[in-house]
Amino acid sequence: MKSHKIILPIYNEAQKFASLGEKILKNGSVLIGRVPHVGQYAYLHEIYSPLKKNELIALEKRLNRKIPSCLLDFYSECNGLKYFSDVLSLDGCRISSGRSLEDAYQPYDLMDSNIHERIEDADEDIFFFGGYDWDGSRVYVRDEIDTIFFCGPDSVAPLKKWSD
pLDDT tens per residue, range 109-155: 999 999 999 999 999 999 999 999 989 999 999 998 889 999 999 99
Q: What is the pTM of this model?
A: 0.91
For residue range 48-106, what is the model confidence (pLDDT) as tens digits? Answer: 999 999 999 999 999 999 999 889 999 999 999 999 998 999 999 998 877 888 888 99
CB 80, CB 90: distance < 8 Å: yes
Q: What is d(CA 59, CA 76) in angstroms, rounded to the nearest whole number?
A: 13
* Maximum Cα interatomic distance, the chain, rounded to a whole number of Å: 44
The yes-or-no verdict on residue 2 having pLDDT over 70 is no
Half-sphere exposure of 151 (CA within 13 A, CB side): 22
Instruction: Tell me what pLDDT residue 128 has.
Output: 98
Beta strands in 16-157 (DSSP E): 22-24, 30-34, 43-47, 81-83, 88-90, 126-132, 138-142, 145-151
For residue range 74-84, what is the model confidence (pLDDT) as tens digits? Answer: 999 999 999 99
